[in-house]
Every structure is written in C-alpha cells, then in structure tokens.
Structure 1
Amino acid sequence: MIRVALLSKWHVHAADYAAQAQENPGITISSVWDEDPVRGKEWAEELGVPFVQDLTTLLSDSSIDAVIIASPTNQHKNLILAAAKHGKHIFTEKVLAFSVADCEQIFSAVDNAGVELMVSLPRLTDDYFIYAEEAVKQGLLGRITMVRCRAAHNGAVPTDTAPLGWLPETFFNPAQCGGGAMIDLGAHPIYLANRLLGTPSTVTGPLQQVTDRGVDDQSVAVVEYTSQAMAVLETSFISSKSPFQLELYGTEGTLMIENREIRIKSTKMDTEEWTSPADIPESLPLPIHQWAASIEERTSPSITRTDAWNLTLINQGAALSQKRNRRVDLQELNLSK
C-alpha cells in the first residue's frame, strides 16, 4: 500500500487527484499539508486525515511513502526537491517547472533519491490520442507536416454569479503561475503535439492579455520541429462553447478530432469519404494509476520525462518569444539535453 500525503489544494485539479488516489486500491491518503493552513485543515477534515502544518515534519514521517503536489506552480521545484531528499515518490500537477534548467535539477534529485516522478499529462492516455499515434505509426497520414490543437474554456469570462469568471483569482497571479492560459490550459496542446512531432526547435508565441488580469488569457504558440513539421497550438480562458480540437495533416491524409469524435481521410484507405474508425484502442490508465504501478510493480509509465521536459521547453520559449517579440530558437535556452 502506498501511503500518500497531499501537498496543497491550490490547483483546481487537487480534489480530482485526491479522488483518483482514493479510487486506486494501492493508494491510501494519510495526511495533508497546505501553504494555506486554513484551506489545508478544511481539506484534511473533509478527508478524515491529519493536517500537518510543518512540511519538514510531514516529509520526515517514515510512514509516508509518496506525495501528490497540487501547489502553486512556483512551489513545484522546492517541494519536489524536498520530497526527493526525504525519499518520497512524487506525483505533480503540470508543469514540472518554469525552466528546463530546473527540470534538470529535479531529474537529478529524483535519480539520486531513487524515487518515481510522474507529471500529470492526462490527455496522452486518452483513447482518441492513442488512435492518433497509431494512425501515424501505421503511415495512414504519410509524412506528418502540420498539427493544430486547441484547448480553450471560458474561465475568465464574467457571469452574474462570478464577476471575474469561474477560475480562481490565484490563476491570474503571475508569480505563482508563471503565466496564464498557455502554461496551464495550453499545456495539453503542447504535450500532445510534442509527442506526435518529436523534437521542437523554434517557437513563436503571441500571448495576449485581453482581460488585463496580469497574465495571458488568449494565446497561440507556433512551434517548428527538427522534422520540419509545424504545430499551431491555441488556448484561451475567454472562449465559451469552444470544443477541444486536434488535427493532424500529412502527405497522405488528414485526421480530425473534435472532443472525442474522430474522422480520418487517407489515400491509404478504400474510400474518398471521411471515415469514423470502428476500432478505437482503449484509453491507458490515468497518470496517477501509472505512477502507482511504477512504484509497486516497477512498470514503465507511458508518460515520460521527455514529455515533461518538452512541455517546459515550449512554455519557456513562448514566454521568451512574447517578451522579446520574436521567434525563439530553443537552443538559446542553454539546453543540456
């Protein structure tokens, strides 16, 4: 049994991770820590576990095997390093860190401690994405030349009941978040495109502040890859009724996904019409379940360090592109990987 401490309920997905942990027969939630003691005590009471106010005391507890981190993003690095130092396995909300240099430091600490690290990149496990990967591997689209992906919602759109939108105000704190729509919701298009297209080489990122809340709320990243493929990655906190879209374009065909609906048209198929595939592969286990299996059974998760690294790489490059108003060669970030 993996005995887990929950570190912070800051992120909107914190309760989801707690619920997923409770669903896993190999995980038990043992305690809660939060940088906001009032919030942490309420959560601990709700879960029926102790609240531990001192982080070092919690991490020094030999009965705790692992931590689930849903803290402000600017605390990820220090919390992960502290957990690794105390020999705890680590599950964390995206993004891993603000810079690839910080990612390197985290990976080194995790390796030295011999613990398992998982970053929550859940759409890599969805059935529609598994199908897209298989279609690419089977050559149904030929050479992939372009990917477009959009993830957007209306979290910053005012309503009668939420004058500033339904997203927590803390999501507009640039120090805590390191950005806005692109670093948070835009993470999904980024890591999906990276997985499909490989090694990114340049990024251009106009990151807009339409609502003037201190962080971008509508953004696009145009990413070029060493394969000469390109990706147009769109995100927004100010779009109502916007579907999730993933489009793959290749020399032999096109694959269109809207929400979970899949359509494909390919020269490799017997018809010129759009086809909805009949056999969709099953989704993979959610990241938290893959993490638990890697701890208990020593299995290899489908979500890798490269996925986490390249996500941070694109976000770091997009932020630099916005700051300097130009296309950024990602080699500028002094990569060691």
Structure 2
Amino acid sequence: MALLSRWHVHADDYAKEAMENTDMQIKKVWDDSIERGKQWANELGVSFEENIDNVMKDDDIDAIIVTTSTNLHPEIIRKACQYKKHIYTEKVLALTVEESEEIWKAKLESNVQLMVSLPRLTEKEFLCAEDVVEKGLLGKITMIRCRLAHDGAVTRGGEKIGWLPDRFYDKQLAGGGALVDLGAHPIYLTNRLMGNPTSVYAHLQSLSDQYEVDDSAVVTVEYESGAIGIIETSFLSHGSPFQLELYGTEGTFLAEEGKVKIKRKQHQDDGWLELEAPKQVASPMKQWVDAIQTNSTPTITKEDFLQLTVINQAAALSHKQKKRVEIR
C-alpha cells in the first residue's frame, strides 16, 4: 500500500484501518506537501517519496489510498490505472460526470479494483431503510429527507476558523464546500434508496465572508418514481444528529442517532416499532480488499460513485443559475 496525501481529514482513519487489516501493509507515503508527508511517514515508520511517479512505478506497491485534495483525484486515479494499482479514494470520485466516466473507463481498461469511500451504505440506518423499501412496508414512498451536519466551521474563543482545516474552504482544491464534502453522504444514501433522479434544485449558502464555498446547503431532488428528496448539510450546526426519514402512503421510517423505527397503518395501535439491522455489511475498505483478493463484487457500485457526482454537478449548476436543473 501507498498512502497518497494527508490533505483530507479522514486520511488518518484510512491509515488506521489499513494497519489493522492483516492483508494490508503500508509501505510508502506521498504528499504534495513535503513537510506534511514526511511528518506522516515518520509517524507511521515508513518511507516518504517526493515523486508520485516513483510510487506508481514501484512494483512492490499493489494499491493506493487517495486522500489528496479533490481537484487532484482525476489525474492521480488515472495515473494509478495506467500503472495498474488498485485504488481506494475519498469521495467524491471527481467533480464532473465527464471526469468520473473517464476514470471508470480507465479502471476497466486496466482491470483494477476501484472503491470510493461511501461508508454509510454499510451502516444500520441505511440497511434498515433499504430493507423497508425493498419489502414495500411504507407503500408508495412520496418523500425522503436526509441530513448530515457538523460544526466544523464554527469558531470558538477568538479562533479564526473552526476545527475543519482552512484548506477545506479552498474552492480550487476542494471543488466545493459543505455539499461536496459532508453532503455527499445524504446524496448517495437518497440516490440508492430512491433510484434515478430527474431534476435538482439547490441553494448553497455561505454565511461567512471568509469562505469562497458553501458552509450550508439544501438540495431538493425529484426521482423517476415521483418521490421528492430533501438533502441537508452544514458546517455550522453544533449537535446536529444524522437523520434519515422516509414517508409513504402506508407508513413512516425514522432513523436518528443510531435508533431506527417504523410506523405502519397495519400496526394495531399505530405505534412505533424499533428495528434492528437486517444484516451485516463489510466496510468499504474491507469490500475493496476482498474484491482485490477474490474478485468478489462489492455492494458499493459504479452507480453509487457516478450518481453522487451527477447530483453534485447539477446542484452547483442549479445554484449558479438559480433554477431547477433537469437530469437527462
């Protein structure tokens, strides 16, 4: 394994998971910030490489974890495909559908395994919601709402920025703000549960003059089924719980802070019934490793990767044009 950049705040999390997996061994670190990269390599007890091409040419490196700035994803992932390295990357895959499709084409041509980290597709709230949808327990679903927010941009005690690094507000590097980063999770969850989107209307808000990207966002999505999706995210919400809600003609599904419950008109007392996760699903990284070793098929798919970019690109266009954007 080679770790490519400590730019993203989840870089340490992925390194930790890799070190805990006996099938993986971290051998090298590369970073476009030499100082940052050398420090990380020293902490991990591995070598640092300044030249990314040397990492790719190294026959001892089988796979890479990409936690660079978002704008570097297409270049680095295509290069990895060229040298037939398996790829695990932080979301999003790319900022445009065209770039994402080019990456997927390169992945197929090089016959490598590619995984984008979409972890909430493996967690209890989604698994219960998916089971409820597949069984038709809510009747015809008319609306879905999903919210994920934190206080990463909230300043305290005279600090200039919150706990989220200032590089996350650099539009050129990050490609966007709260919606591209944190809003990715509600986007891919609603996409998977509701199917193909047909239109998007978005408002991306920046409450601070110091940011060139959004720190809060609301996106409404219409799906082929006629259901409406409401996606919410923010870097300015202290204590905001993760929420996933499904509303249908025969019932309601609510998930918040690990608790999942359903109410159906078929229930005698019309009360709430708590649900347990219907199955266990391996983490995105474990699924990726299994696919490399056994050619197994991950539960997280190309459609999840590409549709995430579709909504992000449509939302950015909708906000810019201040109108509803149709997806064809």
**Fold conserved (TM > 0.5)?**
yes
What's the counterpart of residue 323 of structure 2?
A: 326
Give the Cα separation in 2 of the matches to 1:125 and 1:280. Answer: 10
Deviation at 1:138, TM superposition (A): 1.1
Deviation at 1:282, TM superposition (A): 4.0
What's the counterpart of residue 22 of structure 2?
A: 25
- SS for the counterpart of 1:227 is coil
| TM-score normalized with structure 2 length | 0.98
Give the Cα separation in 2 of the matches to 1:63 and 1:241. Answer: 45
- SS for the counterpart of 2:153 is coil
Give the Cα separation in 2 of the matches to 1:198 and 1:175. Answer: 31
Deviation per CA, 1:66-116: give whole Å up to 9, x if none. Answer: 000000000000000000000000000000000000011000100000000
2:306 maps to which of 306, 309, 324: 309
- Code of the residue aligned with 2:120 in structure 1: it is R
- Code of the residue aligned with 2:103 in structure 1: it is I
1:209-228 maps to which residues of 2 (within 5 A)? 209-212=206-209, 213-228=211-226
1:133 aligns with 2:134: no
Give the Cα separation in 1 of the matches to 2:212 and 2:308. Answer: 22
Deviation per CA, 1:133-157: give whole Å up to 9, x if none. Answer: 0011111111111100000011101
Give the Cα separation in 1 of the matches to 2:288 and 2:159. Answer: 36
Instruction: Verify the 8 A CA contact 1:140 1:268 in the aligned structure 2.
Output: no
What's the counterpart of residue 6 of structure 2?
A: 9
What's the counterpart of residue 300 of structure 1?
A: 297
Deviation at 1:275, TM superposition (A): 1.3
What's the counterpart of residue 84 of structure 1?
A: 81
1:178-327 maps to which residues of 2 (within 5 A)? 178-212=175-209, 213-277=211-275, 279-327=276-324
- SS for the counterpart of 1:62 is coil
Give the Cα separation in 1 of the matches to 2:266 and 2:201. Answer: 34
Q: Report sequence identity in percent.
A: 49
Deviation at 1:162, TM superposition (A): 3.8
Give the CA RMSD over aligned residues.
1.0
Instruction: Verify the 8 A CA contact 2:184 2:308 in the aligned structure 1.
Output: yes
1:97-108 maps to which residues of 2 (within 5 A)? 97-108=94-105
Give the Cα separation in 1 of the matches to 2:125 and 2:214. Answer: 29
- Code of the residue aligned with 1:319 in structure 2: it is A
Deviation at 1:246, TM superposition (A): 0.4
- Code of the residue aligned with 1:299 in structure 2: it is S
- Contiguous gaps of at least 5 residues in structure 1: 332-337
Give the Cα separation in 2 of the matches to 1:169 and 1:107. Answer: 31
Give the Cα separation in 1 of the matches to 2:180 and 2:12. Answer: 20
- Contiguous gaps of at least 5 residues in structure 2: none
Deviation at 1:161, TM superposition (A): 6.8
Instruction: Verify the 8 A CA contact 2:73 2:94 in the aligned structure 1.
Output: yes
Instruction: Verify the 8 A CA contact 1:127 1:284 in the aligned structure 2.
Output: no
Give the Cα separation in 2 of the matches to 1:287 and 1:280. Answer: 17
Instruction: Verify the 8 A CA contact 2:253 2:262 in the aligned structure 1.
Output: yes
Give the Cα separation in 1 of the matches to 2:29 and 2:175. Answer: 25
Give the Cα separation in 1 of the matches to 2:201 and 2:14. Answer: 33
1:32-51 maps to which residues of 2 (within 5 A)? 32-51=29-48
Deviation at 1:187, TM superposition (A): 0.4
- Code of the residue aligned with 1:215 in structure 2: it is V
Give the Cα separation in 1 of the matches to 2:114 and 2:289. Answer: 10
Give the Cα separation in 2 of the matches to 1:280 and 1:43. Answer: 37
Instruction: Verify the 8 A CA contact 2:131 2:278 in the aligned structure 1.
Output: no
Deviation per CA, 1:13-58: give whole Å up to 9, x if none. Answer: 0000000111111111110000101100110111111101101111
- Code of the residue aligned with 2:191 in structure 1: it is N
Instruction: Verify the 8 A CA contact 2:139 2:248 in the aligned structure 1.
Output: yes
Tell me the number of residue pairs that the alignment of Structure 1 and Structure 2 aligns: 327
| TM-score normalized with structure 1 length | 0.95
What's the counterpart of residue 64 of structure 1?
A: 61
Give the Cα separation in 2 of the matches to 1:282 and 1:128. Answer: 11
Deviation per CA, 1:263-282: give whole Å up to 9, x if none. Answer: 210123343111112x4224
1:153 maps to which of 139, 150, 155: 150
Instruction: Verify the 8 A CA contact 2:125 2:244 in the aligned structure 1.
Output: no
